[in-house]
Amino acid sequence: MPTTPLDPFHLPPSSRGKSASVLIDADRAHFLRIAHALQSQREETESRLSAARQTHAGTGGTAVDRDLEIRRLSGRLRLLDRFGLDLCLGRMTPSDGSTPLYIGRSGLAADDGSRLLVDWRTPAAEPYFAATMADPRGFSSRRRYRWSDGRITDYWDEALTPEGLSDTDALDDQSAFIASLGFDRSARMRDVLSTIQADQDAIIRTPSRGTLVVDGGPGTGKTVVALHRAAHLLYAEPRLTHGGGGMLLVGPNAHYLSYVEDVLPSLGEDSVRLSTLRDLVPEGRDAVAEKVPRVAHLKATLDPVAMIDAAAAVHERPPQRALRLESPWADLWLGREEWAEAFSAADTSSAHNDARDEVWEELLETLSDQIDDDDAPPHAVRRWLRQDEELTGTFVRAWPLLSPASIVRRFWSDPDFLARCAPSLTAEEIAILQRETHEAWTVADLPFLDAARRRIGDPEATRAEHRRQAVIASAQDQMSHVVDHLIEDDDSEMKVMSILKGQDARNVLTGVDTPPLSPPDELAGPFAHIVIDEAQELSDAEWRMLLARCPSRSLTIVGDRAQTRHGFTQSWAERLERVGIREVRVAHLGVNYRTPVEVMTVAAPVIRAAIPDANVPRSVRESGIPVREATTTGLEGILDDWLATHAQGIACVIGAPSFTPTARVRALTPEGAKGLEFDLVILVDPEQFGDGVTGAVDRYVAMTRATQELVILH
> Annotated binding site for ATP: which residue ranges?
216-223
Question: Residue 631: how many CA atoms within 13 Å on its side-chain side?
Answer: 1
CA distance 266 to 140: 29
Are the beta carbons of 410 and 430 closer than 8 angstroms?
Answer: no
Q: Which residues contact 484 (CB under 8 A, 6 or more apart)?
A: none
The DSSP 8-state label assigned to residue 683 in this structure reads E
Are the beta carbons of 335 and 325 closer than 8 angstroms?
Answer: no
Cα separation of the two ends of the chain: 49
Backbone φ/ψ region at 250: left (φ over 0), alpha (ψ -120 to 50), beta? beta
Element of type H or E holding 237: none
Three-state secondary-structure class, residue 462:
helix
CA distance 193 to 230: 13
CA distance 537 to 561: 9
CA distance 589 to 217: 7
Q: Beta strands 88-94 and 101-104: pairing type? A: antiparallel
Q: Which residues contact 511 (CB under 8 A, 6 or more apart)?
A: none
Q: Please give the angle made by the CA atoms of 54, 513 and 359, to the nearest 5 degrees.
A: 120
Q: Please give the angle made by the CA atoms of 520, 556 and 238, to the nearest 5 degrees.
A: 60
Three-state secondary-structure class, residue 433:
helix
Binding residues: 216-223
Question: Residue 340: how many CA atoms within 13 Å on its side-chain side?
Answer: 6
Q: Closest Cα to residue 158, out of 174, 137, 134, 178?
A: 174
Q: Closest Cα to residue 567, out of 609, 612, 604, 611?
A: 611
User: How buried is residue 296: exposed, middle or buried, by Cβ count under 10 Å (0-12/13-18/19+)?
Assistant: middle
Q: Please give the angle made by the CA atoms of 326, 327 and 329, to the nearest 5 degrees.
A: 125
CA distance 550 to 246: 10
User: Between the CA atoms of 470, 471, 472 and 475, what dihedral angle is there, to the nearest 10 degrees?
Assistant: 120
CA distance 566 to 694: 6
User: How buried is residue 328: exposed, middle or buried, by Cβ count under 10 Å (0-12/13-18/19+)?
Assistant: exposed
**Burial state string for 23-60 with b = 16 or more CB within 10 A and e = fewer than 16:** bbeebeebbebbbebbeebeeebeebbeebeeeeeeee
Element of type H or E holding 598: helix 597-610
The DSSP 8-state label assigned to residue 278 in this structure reads G
CA distance 397 to 452: 20
User: How buried is residue 706: exposed, middle or buried, by Cβ count under 10 Å (0-12/13-18/19+)?
Assistant: buried
Are the beta carbons of 58 and 66 closer than 8 angstroms?
Answer: yes
